Structure 1
Amino acid sequence: MLKHLSRVRLFALVGGLLLATACSAGSGQDPSAPYTDGVEYATIPGPAQRYSPEGKVEVVEVFSYGCIHCDHFAPYAEKLRQALPKGVVFKLVPAPFSAEWLPFARAFYAAKKLGVVDKTHLELFKEKFDQHYPMNTLDELADFYAREGVNRDEFLRIATSDAVTQQMKSDLALIQKWGVTGTPTIVVDGKYRSADVHNYDQLVALTQWLAKRELSAK
């Protein structure tokens, strides 16, 4: 088990929205499958709750720039993204699990709006955790994006906008429905959530297996 996954610190976000308890795992298992429902992954109860209406199979990493374990997983996630077959799309969803993590979520949404996530995603982790730049407040994050060529004022305007606040509220509600209780967590097609995996290689392999199974089912 990845015992070092960051755990949720409950946080009231915009209008008192709270994380609920995690969903329980599904049942029923193909004995020939390499992974077990309820062990390495969990079936999310109810109909699929996908992040977007795209027709492709969806792989979502729930993460935070404030999470050192997401930093460790980031290069694995990038290789996973590049290796996913045609018909499967990889998405990032920031988890605003605490007051400390809110600036990182706002920064991600602003970077996404400005079209610089691909350029800055790994670099932000590198500067924060490898180079130990002070990046905890939104102002400090704005300094980072300014170094990457982003207009600082425009970044702050978007990051603090009502639209970003609403997006955080909506995404937190979906993360709650998925039953995510730590980061990094992978959710496949709004149906399956990674659970007790032993290392990041296994998390990648599990994700590929679930994604390919969903793709073949379509």
Structure 2
Amino acid sequence: MLGKAELLGIIAGKNRGLLATPTDKTAILSAVAKLEDRNPTPRPLEAADLLNGDWRLLYTTSRGLLGIDQFPVFKLGQIYQSIRVNESKVYNIAEVYGVPFLEGIISVVAGFEQVNDRRVQVKFNRSIVGLQRLIGYQSPSNYIAEIEENKKFVALDFKLEPREQQGWLDITYLDADLRIGRGNEGSVFVLTKV
């Protein structure tokens, strides 16, 4: 699909948006809009087989996510989002690098509820922040399995009040290996299936 290749070409080398210039951002948002107009899955929440699974962030305009890179001596690594449709759960995982042996992980667990054919209401309920070595982090899927077993980690591991930590997300494009979403704070997210 030409629109998909165009978008992937424009976001290549932009380090999830960290290196995007204002001109790049305009071109990327234009390519996103063109692709959204040709969404092959207009009812993405009914396509659990496509939506379910592990996704890696390719590009975002989210200041909250990109802001992680602003901490001294730390750099933002890969960002993953894992969706478990049957359990109505989503796991956001950001890998953080910098000082050797002090690689970190920042993660949030949330529940979601379908609002319409493409929007979910998201309620964050648990946050885990710590060192990858102490947590025993190897990969997003292993880590999520441990979270689902209610493992308590050697980290900042705390519950969040869902009424205070919530938002919504529209899934505006979904195919077998690409997902685009728009959040309640105006952020755009482009992810690829892992």
TM-score, normalising length: structure 1? 0.29
Which one has a larger percent helix, Structure 1 or Structure 2?
A: 1
Higher strand proportion, which one? 2
If asked which structure has higher relative contact order (CA below 8 Å, sep 6+), I would say: 1
TM-score, normalized by length of structure 2? 0.31
